[in-house]
Structure 1
Amino acid sequence: MNNKELYKDLTDKVNKRIKSFAVLIDPDKIDSSAKLNQLIMMAVENKVDYFFIGGSLMMHQNLSWVVSAIKEGSNIPAILFPGNNLQLDPHADGLLLLSLISGRNPELLIGQHVLVAPVLKKSKIEIISTGYMLIHSGKPTAAGYMSHSQPIPSDKPDIAASTAMAGELLGQKVIYLDGGSGAEKPIPPRMIKMVKKSIEIPLIVGGGITNKEKALQCIESGADVVVVGNGIEKNPGLMTEVANIVERYNHSLNVHN
């Protein structure tokens, strides 16, 4: 995909009420070329819309390798989902510039962004400003621990909605509700619905989606992009199940229209 077209593509889909499916790859959890290539092939076969690439830590220097493999093996956009300002690769198609608006850690609201801004400004990577919100998922997650932030309680959809509205008013292009890697529970449908009704920008939702029923519930509640990562690591067949759910939902929408 050409530079500066990712966000337009996403908003065009949202305006048509078309749902998208993103597969999250943590480079630290990919330990072989065979495993990575198989994942990419499955994504191509299942018509996955986006690859999100990143994690809370970077123990191994796998990021550039993963991005290159995706670019060589598919036409699926490779979008960085960085856990810190070191997780950059100039060959990626896009980058979710995360501002952790659910927390009060200034480093993740603006601090690390200042450090990396000169590099991003000169790059050809499409930057998508993202209001990132951590939601309590039943247990502490790596994202919560590393960000030194308190997730929004899962039974407080009004706080989530107000936070999302603030992010939109501050100029964020998308809102991302996340339970974090290894989340025990997905984002509650009531919260997704309230957030979606409160904003006019795309809504991405991930964390705790371990079966097709949870994926469908997430989509029906208002998520424009559903993200699955840890669930696919444990059960690769989940990719096909979620892809089928998204395809059926979009097809039923076209039929009724």
Structure 2
Amino acid sequence: MKVLSRLQNSVKVNGTSFVLLIDPDKKNNDKIEKLVEHANINDVDAIFVGGSLMMDSLYHERIARIKSISNIPLILFPGGINQINRHFDAMLFMSLISGRNPHYLIGEQVLAAPIVKDLGIETISTGYILIDGGSSTTVEFISGTKPLPTSRIDLIMSHVLAAQFLGMKFLYLEAGSGAKKRVPNEVVEMVAKESQLDLIVGGGIKTPKDANELAQSGASFVVVGSAIENSIELMNDFSSAIHG
């Protein structure tokens, strides 16, 4: 079964799916292995791997190690073309549609496409929208773009509908890793109600209660990274909160 079909089936079964985000550039190999081992037994539906930066030359070795011990679909959440790796089961083939930097709208995608085809990695077309999380984030700085303000639901919805009409499969609302504030419930509710896209929500999700509220608001996938990296024992609590 293709990864896309597996993810969509998990949403049908659970209502909302739980995605663990792992940043392989934290350089803590033991911690990464523990995260994956815990994910295998705590009903995590998928693992996203990615970060805005590559801080050393061991990235690809870490991906191979994660793949070797994971029982869960391993999906690239790309920060750049240099993160593409044959060990991924699939990748979010993303366009940063909230910004106007052509490099992240289409430039990186053009450079990546031949490599992705050659490696045979499954692609999931995804519209990526940065939402203001109350603090400057790495992705905002690296991409040279500004997030959309949460007060402008009309602006957010215009971007969401553009992604839908362009044929995207997924829509990713991102407050940014470690954001002060997550995407508000009312934004998630509106996007879920007014679009036909599978909705991913991530960034600034600090507690299982946060995750549960996003699931109840209509998120198809809730992505948690920093909160679990800091307190791995919370993984089961997040899983229960998201799956209801």
Query: 1:43-82, aligned counterparts within 5 Å?
Result: 43-82=39-78
Counterpart among 88, 92, 96 of residue 96 in structure 1:
92
Please report the RMSD computed on the Cα atoms of aligned residues, expressed in angstroms: 1.4
Counterpart among 192, 207, 211 of residue 211 in structure 1:
207
Q: Distance in 2 between matches of 1:171 and 1:213?
A: 32
Query: 1:1-257, aligned counterparts within 5 Å?
Result: 5-15=2-12, 18-32=15-29, 34-247=30-243, 249=244
Report the TM-score, using the length of structure 2 for normalisation.
0.95
Q: Judging changes above 3 Å, is the alpha-carbon distance between structure 1 residues 17 and 242 closer, same or farther for their aligned structure 2 residues?
A: closer
Unmatched runs of 5 consecutive residues or more in structure 1: 250-257
Q: Distance in 2 between matches of 1:54 and 1:63?
A: 10
Q: Judging changes above 3 Å, is the alpha-carbon distance between structure 1 residues 161 and 15 closer, same or farther for their aligned structure 2 residues?
A: farther
**Conserved in 2, the CA contact under 8 Å of 1:210 and 1:238?**
no
**Which digits, 9 at most, give the CA deviation of each residue in 1:113-168, with x for residues without a partner?**
11111111222211011100000000100011111001000222221122111001
**Which digits, 9 at most, give the CA deviation of each residue in 1:96-122, with x for residues without a partner?**
111001111110000111111111122
Q: Distance in 2 between matches of 1:190 and 1:30?
A: 36
Q: Distance in 1 between matches of 2:225 and 2:58?
A: 17
Aligned length: 244
Counterpart amino acid of residue 188 in structure 1: P
What is the deviation of 1:94? 0.5
Identity of aligned residues (%): 43
Q: Distance in 1 between matches of 2:129 and 2:77?
A: 13
What is the deviation of 1:70? 2.4
What is the deviation of 1:16? 5.2
**Conserved in 2, the CA contact under 8 Å of 1:174 and 1:201?**
yes
Q: Distance in 1 between matches of 2:28 and 2:131?
A: 29
Q: Distance in 2 between matches of 1:93 and 1:130?
A: 16
Q: Distance in 1 between matches of 2:126 and 2:177?
A: 18
**Conserved in 2, the CA contact under 8 Å of 1:94 and 1:128?**
yes
Q: Distance in 1 between matches of 2:89 and 2:57?
A: 19
